[in-house]
Structure 1
Amino acid sequence: MASKWSKYGKRYCKEWEKETQLKDWLRPVTGDDKNAACRYCKCEIRAHHADLLQHMATEKRVRNSRPLSSARLTTMGFTKSPPPKTTPELELKLACYSACHATINSVDHLGELVQPHTACGVKLHRTKCGALITKVLAPCLLEDLVKDIGASQYSLLIDESTDVANEKQLAVVVRYFSTSLNKLVTTFLGLFTLEGSSAQQIAQGLLDFLTKVGLDFTRCLGIGTDGCNVMVGKNNSVYTHLRQKNENLVLVKCVCHSIQLCASKAVEVLPRSLEFLVGRSYSWFSHSSLRLHEYSKLYQLINNGKEPLKLVQLSGTRWLSISSCCKRILEQWDELKLHFTLCKDKYRCYDAEILSEMYKDPVNKLYLVFLNPVLHRALEFHELWNNIELWNSMKSFSPECILSQAKPPHQDVPLLKLFKGDIGLLDTQYRQLCFLPWKNVTKNDIASFWVEVLHFTDASGERCFKELAEFALSLLSLPLSNADVERVFSHMNLVKSRLRNRMRNEMLSAILHVRYGLRFRGVCCRDFEPTSKMM
């Protein structure tokens, strides 16, 4: 009885070209699917798998393949290509790139573009990419951060905001001294959705979050917030609830927010017309390229061809932004006055008429001339009176003071009440520190001085000032403002935008962990190397 192959015949199979022992020399025959070709011997073989294996072992094929072997190519000046990366490693790198610079949906096309050019068979689409970001990259980077913090004392910066999906988010930023990097580090710790806006709910949510990531709240030295009542009120605030868990917790109000509030209250005594002048001058040009072009031609005619600088938009919540607005308007006052005088008759616009009259009034210019240096000074203001006692106490740990022979005894240093350890040992180190020569004693880099003290060893190889140096470095981790947590919200709005408003909080937090985790390591996606735990 004849077999089925004698009736139908066997055909060339493309899958044979993927086999390790056949892929180097096996090729199809054009127009004939019943035979296969050997590119070494320049001959045809019947398209039977057994015949192909038999031809591979012949002396003729082995002899013809020697000039094209990898060793022969190396001696002829060709170099062997590096071994391809493993599939998980390459997929993690692509997922890391997506979290840093692209959207998750774009991975559907990116994976298909990369797949033909890789030998390891990458298969990556948005579902798998999202899982790699949320389940592998972000948890591992967060674990590395918590491990780096260890048992060190740290400070927290917290603030709440509402994203584009009207969900209340609480961002948490940690500031601590990293013993592995030998420097103070301020980085993103986490982001979670608030279940309510009360002080107790915010405080409990923060404590639950710290427990979840594995940080001991009793090691928290200070907390930085803005000046709203729910955060810093005397009776029922987030700070008072947290103080019940950590009685030595130091509160640091944000300097920037306090200055904004002071400026906002101060300008209430000024005429409201000033805000109208600054705001409407910007909006006059912001939505009309024709008006901007006409003003540019007028400005160039007056100023010998120079291009005018654009006016600055006035922020509704950051009143100190009027400083740059006033400065820009004063620099172009005469040109703007002439422009609105011409536009008043040309466009017959009520706003142009009002602005023209205001620019002609010298009192308005006098107000702006008065405000310009005052607001500029406010922008340079970096001290808050409520925290002045705290920063004065920290002077005791400056190199100039602590190395002085006339320094006060440790009992007179107020911040020593925050030290948790052997006070007698700390007193001994405090008194002996001034008897040794130190290199990094500059006023501008106190952290370098204490890093040198931390790593100083005696004849027996022990770090004899370890406790004092670690305590001083933990004090330096106290936050000055919550500008870093505001930057987190800027990143949050870039990631969860109006076009991506359905993004879940888990994915949003994971993407921020990846971005800040790479910044913490000092690398970007092209330099990122997955760890063994990620693999």
Structure 2
Amino acid sequence: MTDKSTRKYSQRYCPSWENDQCFKGWLQSVPGDASKARCKVGGNSFQVHMKSVIGHSLSKKHVDNTKSSTSKSQRSIKDAMRPIERDPVKIAELRIAVYIGEHASALSVDHLGELLPKLDMKSRTLQDFRMHHTKCARLQKYVIAPSFAVKLRNEIGDNFFSLVVDESTNEANISCLALCIRFYSTSKKSVVDTFYRLLPIENATADTLYQTVKRCLAEDGLDVKKMIGLGTDGASSMIGRTHSLSTLLRVDNPELTLFRCVCHSLNLAASKASECLPIIVDFVVRETHNWFSTSSKRTNEYQAIYRVLENSVPKKVPGLAGTRWLARLEAVSIIIDQWEALKLHFDPSASKERCYTAKTLSDAYRDDQNKLYLLFVRKTLKEIVLIRFSSHKLQMSQK
């Protein structure tokens, strides 16, 4: 590889060249040209000849560049990765991130991060506090959430547990599977109900739900045979008799008990029973809210009428949820309590605004038979809601 003179030269000035000790950290190849080498420290290129390489390593320019690059103080990888256990600033940042995740939006931490250092100029913890929404989100996702997940998994241990499963679509139009878990906590010596996981899914078919739940339990080391209860709504993909999440899980665990949501069942029963009522009843409740929700002028006119009659401010009629029939109880109750004031409001509105909706509502409020229907609906919904709260109270007392 080299002649005698080069070997003597190299052994004299760089005795360890044969073990590549002289070249580590600065010598690298030039891509596309095997006849040249490059100095990483200075950026110089030269011919791949031992005498040229060793000569460059002993040059004053190379020695100065090497000293300047190594004189910079750098922490070792061990020091950089060493966990900071009791740093008050880190503890404060984590606590604020937990608070934001529990009670507020991540964007609000931008203002909070600038406000806290100004509260106490003598506090070193507050002066060193630095956090905006990006850092807050990263702490929640990569530090707090994994820590809570490990803590929850250790707390569950090998105990029996039950799952509450529900599928929904978020604001980004992504289907998600929400899981809540119930288990007996040895440390707290009580039954604990808590949020478990929120998993994205491609679709809400029975096979997809089953595979998602199985994979989630396997990742956390939970045995499906330890699951004693499954709570779901009334969807066919959840509780269907032939092919659903419950039937697939029962293949793995025949002792699994299925609990249908009482609120969903009562809501479905009320929705089905409401089909026997005249359609004008649903029209009155829905359109009364819509009439005032889009116009402040109408709201002010109605409030003036109500003040004359009752000497107070009227309650707003809430909107209706298409899939939650029990939520109509509040709207029905408000309409019945303000029936006379609403009748006086819609009588002149029907002719003044020349609106078909206003005319229909005016005719509906003049018909006392519609009020009787609403009184029946209010009484029936109160009894159903009372059953729902009683069942919920019974579940809470059994913990």
Tell me, yes or no, whether TM beats 0.5.
yes
Is the 2:161–2:227 Cα contact (8 Å) retained in structure 1? Answer: yes
Q: What's the offset of the Cα at 1:139?
A: 1.1
Match of 1:261 among 261, 264, 268: 268
The verdict on how the C-alpha distance between 1:295 and 1:131 changes in structure 2, with shifts beyond 3 A counting, is closer
Partner of 2:97: 95
The verdict on how the C-alpha distance between 1:217 and 1:103 changes in structure 2, with shifts beyond 3 A counting, is same
Q: Distance in 2 between matches of 1:445 and 1:262?
A: 21
Q: What's the offset of the Cα at 1:233?
A: 0.5
Partner of 1:148: 155
The verdict on how the C-alpha distance between 1:238 and 1:336 changes in structure 2, with shifts beyond 3 A counting, is same
Which amino acid is 1:349 matched to? C
1:112-149 CA-partner distances (Å, limit 9, x unpaired): 55457452534444444333222221111121122222
The verdict on how the C-alpha distance between 1:445 and 1:296 changes in structure 2, with shifts beyond 3 A counting, is closer
SS of 1:175 mapped into structure 2: strand
1:429-464 CA-partner distances (Å, limit 9, x unpaired): xxxxxxxxxxxxxx98996xxxxxxxxxxxxxxxxx
Partner of 1:171: 178
The verdict on how the C-alpha distance between 1:208 and 1:334 changes in structure 2, with shifts beyond 3 A counting, is same
Q: What's the offset of the Cα at 1:298?
A: 1.0
Whether 2:88 is the aligned partner of 1:86: answer yes
SS of 1:380 mapped into structure 2: helix
Whether 2:293 is the aligned partner of 1:293: answer no
Q: Aligned pairs, how many?
A: 308
Q: Distance in 2 between matches of 1:363 and 1:312?
A: 23
Unaligned segments of structure 2, at least 5 residues: 1-85
Whether 2:352 is the aligned partner of 1:346: answer yes
1:459-481 CA-partner distances (Å, limit 9, x unpaired): xxxxxxxxxxxxxxxxx56xxxx
Is the 2:167–2:204 Cα contact (8 Å) retained in structure 1? Answer: no
Whether 2:248 is the aligned partner of 1:217: answer no
Q: What's the offset of the Cα at 1:108?
A: 5.1
Q: Distance in 2 between matches of 1:288 and 1:325?
A: 19
Q: Distance in 1 between matches of 2:222 and 2:229?
A: 14
Match of 2:332 among 326, 329, 341: 326
Q: Distance in 1 between matches of 2:115 and 2:372?
A: 63
Which amino acid is 2:287 matched to? R
Which amino acid is 1:309 matched to? K
Aligned-residue RMSD, C-alpha: 2.7
Q: What's the offset of the Cα at 1:188?
A: 0.3
Is the 2:205–2:237 Cα contact (8 Å) retained in structure 1? Answer: yes
Q: Distance in 2 between matches of 1:260 and 1:143?
A: 37
Q: What's the offset of the Cα at 1:182?
A: 2.7
SS of 1:159 mapped into structure 2: strand
Q: Distance in 1 between matches of 2:308 and 2:106?
A: 50
Which amino acid is 2:167 matched to? E
Greater RCO, CA 8 A, separation 6+: 1
Q: What's the offset of the Cα at 1:85?
A: 5.5
Which amino acid is 2:168 matched to? S
Partner of 2:213: 206
Match of 2:317 among 295, 311, 316: 311
Match of 2:341 among 335, 345, 350: 335
Whether 2:288 is the aligned partner of 1:252: answer no
1:263-315 CA-partner distances (Å, limit 9, x unpaired): 11111122111111111111111122221121111112122x12222223222
Which amino acid is 2:305 matched to? L
1:324-359 CA-partner distances (Å, limit 9, x unpaired): 222211111111111111212222222111111111
Q: Distance in 2 between matches of 1:282 and 1:87?
A: 50
Partner of 2:32: none
Q: Distance in 1 between matches of 2:292 and 2:394?
A: 44
Which amino acid is 2:347 matched to? T
Is the 1:155–1:221 Cα contact (8 Å) retained in structure 2? Answer: yes
Partner of 1:48: none
**TM-score using structure 1 length:** 0.54
Partner of 2:361: 355
Q: Distance in 1 between matches of 2:219 and 2:148?
A: 15
Unaligned segments of structure 1, at least 5 residues: 1-83, 389-442, 448-475, 478-535
Which amino acid is 1:95 matched to? A
Q: Distance in 2 between matches of 1:381 and 1:101?
A: 31
1:359-381 CA-partner distances (Å, limit 9, x unpaired): 11122122112222112112122
Is the 1:295–1:339 Cα contact (8 Å) retained in structure 2? Answer: yes
Partner of 1:284: 291
Match of 1:189 among 181, 185, 196: 196
Deviant stretches of 4+, over 6 Å = 443-447
Q: What's the offset of the Cα at 1:161?
A: 0.4
Q: What's the offset of the Cα at 1:202?
A: 0.5
Compare CA radii of gyration and give the structure with the larger one: 2
SS of 1:215 mapped into structure 2: coil
Is the 1:255–1:383 Cα contact (8 Å) retained in structure 2? Answer: no
Q: Give 1:126-165 correspondences, 5 Å limit.
A: 126-165=133-172
The verdict on how the C-alpha distance between 1:336 and 1:221 changes in structure 2, with shifts beyond 3 A counting, is same
Partner of 2:238: 231
The verdict on how the C-alpha distance between 1:340 and 1:212 changes in structure 2, with shifts beyond 3 A counting, is same
Which amino acid is 1:87 matched to? V
Q: What's the offset of the Cα at 1:215?
A: 2.1
Q: Distance in 1 between matches of 2:309 and 2:132?
A: 58
Q: Give 1:472-483 correspondences, 5 Å limit.
A: 476=398
Which amino acid is 1:214 matched to? G
Q: Distance in 2 between matches of 1:269 and 1:445?
A: 32
**TM-score using structure 2 length:** 0.71
Q: What's the offset of the Cα at 1:162?
A: 0.4
Partner of 2:48: none
Instruction: Give me the identity figure in percent.
Output: 39
Which amino acid is 2:178 matched to? A
Match of 1:364 among 366, 370, 385: 370
The verdict on how the C-alpha distance between 1:102 and 1:324 changes in structure 2, with shifts beyond 3 A counting, is closer
Q: Distance in 2 between matches of 1:444 and 1:234?
A: 28
1:4-45 CA-partner distances (Å, limit 9, x unpaired): xxxxxxxxxxxxxxxxxxxxxxxxxxxxxxxxxxxxxxxxxx
Q: What's the offset of the Cα at 1:107?
A: 4.4
SS of 2:95 mapped into structure 1: helix
SS of 1:293 mapped into structure 2: helix
Which amino acid is 1:192 matched to? L
Q: Distance in 2 between matches of 1:217 and 1:183?
A: 22
Partner of 1:381: 387
